[in-house]
Amino acid sequence: MMSGTAGVLSAAFGSPLSHRATVPTTTEPLIHGLTPYIRLYGATAAKIGDNAKLDDLKISVNCKDSSRIKWNVTAPEAGEYDLFISCAVPGRSFHLEVNSGPSSVKTDLKQTEGVYRSTEDGWYFNFERERLHGRLHLTRGINPATLQVSGTDRDAVLRLRCLEVLSQSSHAEMTAAEESARAHRASTDWFVKAGYGAMFHWTDFTQPRDGMKKPYPEAVNAFDVDTFARLISEIGAAYVIFTLNHAHPHCPAPIQSWEAIHPGWTTRRDLIGDIADVLEKRGIRFLLYINSPVLTMLGDIGTTGLYELTCSEEQFTEIHKNVLSEIGSRYRDKLTGYWFDSWYQSLAAYPDVPIEAIYRYCKVGNPGRITAFNFWIFPVLTPWQDYWAGELNALQNPFESRYIQRGAGTGFQAHGMVSMLPSWVHSEAGPIPPPQFSTEDLIARVKANMEHQAVTTINIGIYQDGTIEQSSLDMMRQLR
């Protein structure tokens, strides 16, 4: 939940970024060939013209009637190519045409659907991924390709995330990979039975109830896990998602592989292990939040809207392998899941990262561990995960089935994550503000989701000592 700005900041526990160790080169091939998908983003377009405009975050293109986007597509072989579009289409239909030389694909796009509500200022968040009818013929090498959008309402806006190009010769391979991914997914039965759980963004930005904020290592040492576990029991949460890192690469545990790439950012106390132990005694499951770009020092967001890369795809994968293997072996069955943030950015930066391999590293020590890679509002571009990350922030529309039928998370276990706070972290001095929604609305939404075997995670404001704001506690007690 970094709002597209997961750049690593420079403040540390007395260790400047320049002192970080270099990532060792991998000794085994972690990347086996290139992904068959060619993904075309607004940020990588050769030209955006007419009524098309890259949004302020440079993560999607706002297309009105008479919009045009041009890319130079490098095709590995001559032949027919399937096209997939990830976009958000409001109530009115649009006509889409993709051209390359004499070849073209034309289609009418209908309204996309999902759980997100439209905002007051007209933003439409329901992105979906759709395969277009017809194929585009490309020659081997560089092919200029143009996407054109037209519509009957000149004020209506189609939001384009990306256009994917896939060789017809790779279609069977990708279909088999998706079937394999579905077959290997961990069971989410316990997740469904849980119904709802709690999330805590406890970071080096988290403020105390009163007084001066402690340095992060001191706060880790002072965190009262017994009081924390008692509060979790009181609110009836069946699981907890806890931040390992966030905007900074801190890690509240002595993880050696983490220390190797982020010297000075780990702690002597194993707070993760201590929390896992006390929660396990109370029958409460424990999951970890990890921000992958911050873990891997992906760099800052550049002027194009893409990360300025600081390591190779092999190193990105190697870091995940080492850290996840050590964490999985250390906590084993006490760790029941992961929630990885900022993956729509990660995959755009590293299109050939073998997510299947990273997914398998997540299972070290516990094959039943559930995993989600967060693509925010955008369609999930990998089948290798067990449930939808579901970053909703506010209360949105309830799910209508256990496995999502329409929207960005189509095909995955339904799960939504909402926050009691206006932001995800209590980072400003003073008391935590009351929840941004009413008790009645929260109860209604959680119950509606549970009726359809969908899961809700509630991000709750937390103080530096591990205690919770009173109005949030009262609301969660009523939910129970």
Over residues 355-380, the pLDDT tens digits come to 999 999 999 999 999 999 999 999 99
Residues, the chain, total? 480
Residues 164 and 193 in one domain: no
Q: What percent of the chain has pLDDT over 70?
A: 91
HEC secondary structure over 127-156:
EEEEECCCCEEECCEEEEEEEEEEECCCCC
CB 183 within 8 A of CB 136: no
For residue range 28-61, list pLDDT tens digits in order.
444 445 689 999 999 999 999 999 999 998 999 9
Q: How many domains does the chain have?
A: 2
The token pair that represents 310 in the structure block: 């600081």
Residues 165 and 183 in one domain: no
- Residue 164's domain comprises 37-169
The token pair that represents 313 in the structure block: 């795809």
Residue 11 lies in a domain: no
Q: Tell which of 109, 140, 169 closes a domain.
A: 169
Residues 320 and 183 in one domain: yes
Q: Tell which of 169, 199, 215 closes a domain.
A: 169
Residues 85 and 196 in one domain: no
Residues 392 and 250 in one domain: yes
Q: Tell which of 125, 141, 169 closes a domain.
A: 169
Residues 148 and 184 in one domain: no
- Cα–Cα separations (whole angstroms), residue 228 to 60, 193, 363, 463: 40, 23, 27, 11
Residue 18 lies in a domain: no
Residue type, 377: I
Residues 155 and 188 in one domain: no
Residue 30 lies in a domain: no
In CATH, what number is assigned to the domain containing residue 127? 2.60.120.260
Residues 322 and 405 in one domain: yes
Residues 273 and 343 in one domain: yes
Residues 135 and 189 in one domain: no
Position 6 scores a pLDDT of 34
CA-nearest of 389, 335, 387 to 361 is: 335
Position 338 scores a pLDDT of 99
Residue 118 lies in a domain: yes
CB 295 within 8 A of CB 280: no
Distance CA 29, CA 345 (A): 24
Residue 117 lies in a domain: yes
Residues 124 and 219 in one domain: no
For residue range 135-152, list pLDDT tens digits in order.
999 999 999 999 999 998
The structure's pTM equals 0.92
DSSP track, 278-297: HHHHTT-EEEEEEEHHHHTT
**CA of residue 148 relative to chain centroid, distance:** 29
- Helical pair 470-479 and 439-451, crossing angle rounded to 10 deg: 40
Residues 161 and 234 in one domain: no
For residue range 311-328, list pLDDT tens digits in order.
899 999 999 999 999 999
